[in-house]
Amino acid sequence: MSMSLLLYIKAFVLNVMICHYAVGNLLNSPLVKEVEECPMNETLWTEKSKEICNNTQDTPYHCLPIDSLNGSVEGCLQVKTIQSDYCAIYNTFSNTAVFGNISSCKGKTNFSCPITAYSSNEIYRYPSCLKINPLKRCYLDDPTCPNVVSNGEGFTNTWQLPLLMLLLWSAVDS
């Protein structure tokens, strides 16, 4: 095989791997978009609500961790009632706010866990429910959750795997 054909195949494979990795990190819903973090107080929440949802009554602003706790999303969703002792999360299958086993905060110390039922669009009242470690897929205020996720400028790792693959490919090619 010629050298140019090998380079073309190499570039194609890298492109497919990078695109697959990036697409795997995106949500397939027009209702929400991924965000680095959610507003942590009522003032910031209200500002985002005006900006994103224009204060709509039927589908107000929400910012929630994804059901796998590996990221957060914001968008305009229907309000759901969330049971006490649970954090609201975004269900990627049903595209709704829900609660479930992964979002239970009952008995966790140093955690602002809801003690009464609440509306999903009022999760900002429980900042512990909004702070997650997307690598370890846990709530940061949970004592069992490692607290190393950020360098102070937000967390992102979408570039690390493609870069590692490129370096490995170059090393093998040498």
CB-based burial label for 113 (10 Å; 0-12, 13-18, 19+): buried
Q: What are the residue ranges spanned by the domains of the chain? A: 32-145
| CA separation for the pair 124, 24 (Å, rounded) | 28
> Per residue, what are the HEC states of 31-91?
CEEEECCCCCCHHHHHHHHHHHHCCCCCCCEEEEEECCCCCEEEEECCCCEECCCECCEEE
pLDDT digits (tens, 9 = 90+) for 48-71: 999 999 867 789 999 999 999 999
Q: What is the mean pLDDT of residues 3-31?
A: 51
Residue 49's pLDDT is 93
Q: What are phi and psi of 82, to 5 degrees?
A: -105, 130
Give, in order, the Cα–Cα distances in Å from 17 to each of 8, 11, 45, 159, 165.
Answer: 14, 10, 37, 12, 9
Q: Give residue 108's identity as a one-letter amino acid code.
A: K
pLDDT digits (tens, 9 = 90+) for 127-147: 999 999 999 999 999 988 987
Q: What is the mean pLDDT of residues 100-127?
A: 93
Residue 162's pLDDT is 57
Q: Is 20 left (phi over 0), alpha (psi -120 to 50) or beta?
A: alpha
